Amino acid sequence: MRYTVLGGRGFIGSHLKKHLIAKGFDVYVPDRNDPEWLEQLLNIDLGIVFYCIGLTANFREYPLETVDGHVCVLNKLFKHANMEQLIYLSSTRVYEGAKNTEEYSALNIQPNLLSHLYNLSKLMGESICLNSSRKAKVVRLSNVYGLEMKSENFLSSILREAVMTNSVKFRTSSNSSKDFISIDDVAPLILQIATSGKDPVYNLASGKNTTNLEIAKVLRMLRIEVEFEKNASQWCMPEINITKLQTDIGRPRNNLIADLPKLIDLYRIK
């Protein structure tokens, strides 16, 4: 079986590629620096495609590129590519402001908000997958952590700041919270969803939020100075329902709070 990883040089895609190769699969990662890369994809058998293309922390700076990555390339693949199945990596950000985080719950979307352009573009990508005649699945990922030196996302920035200055200043309140999942869990679980998942949509998350205060306590135990910005805003996501993931596939093994000391060590080495 051939597996094609689109976005295979990014954080999640590169780990997924390594996992597939370790399993002995034929893995193809196109060179997206080649201006003809997309046209070349349309002329070969792609097998099972993992669609890891997209922007994350910097999407506000590049709104049009965000739509291109989440929707436009995907649309062209569904129209023309020779593939057995496509696995689209979406995000649990789509549950922002939602009362229920089950996979088919109603979502709160406001097109006038720049932050929701990301959510809307991911949902358009999902809708293409779920309403096409092609075989496809959607995986909604929470905040993935691991050794990600170049990322500007929240946790990577915190860890780099801790290692470089031995101090951290949180710019969101102590009770702000998110769901975090380890990259070591993500790659094998995505593959299991692709091959064994019974449903078209899965939440891939830990199922439990971690607060800034919990992170701060671990950092202080590691003798890193921690400060919270005065009058910082609170940013909380609803806890993600992983009942379907647990029932069909299994739950993640790792935990951010337990992994933080090891992560700090990895960032120091790099």
Which range marks the domain in which residue 51 is found?
Answer: 2-143+181-204
What is the structure's pLDDT at 150? 65
Q: Residue 109: which CATH number?
A: 3.40.50.720
What is the structure's pLDDT at 208? 96
Statement to judge: residues 114 and 157 lie in one domain? no
Statement to judge: residues 20 and 31 lie in one domain? yes
pLDDT digits (tens, 9 = 90+) for 109-135: 888 888 889 999 999 999 999 999 899
Statement to judge: residues 92 and 160 lie in one domain? no
| Domain total in the chain | 2
Q: Residue 169: which CATH number?
A: 3.90.25.10
Does residue 247 lie within any of the structural domains? no
3-state secondary structure the chain: CEEEEECCCCHHHHHHHHHHHHCCCEEECCCCCCCCHHHHHCCCECCEEEECCCCCCCCCCCHHHHHHHHHHHHHHHHHHCECCEEEEEEEHHHHCCCCCCCCCCCCCCCCCCCHHHHHHHHHHHHHHHHHCCCCEEEEEECEEECCCCCCCCHHHHHHHHHHHHCEEEEEECCCCEEEEEEHHHHHHHHHHHHHHCCCCEEEECCCCEEEHHHHHHHHHHCCCEEEEEEEEECCECCCCCCHHHHHHCCCCCCCHHHHHHHHHHHHHHC
Statement to judge: residues 7 and 32 lie in one domain? yes
Global confidence as pTM = 0.94
Statement to judge: residues 86 and 48 lie in one domain? yes
pLDDT digits (tens, 9 = 90+) for 155-204: 989 999 999 999 999 999 999 999 999 999 999 999 999 999 999 999 99
Statement to judge: residues 31 and 132 lie in one domain? yes
Does residue 62 lie within any of the structural domains? yes
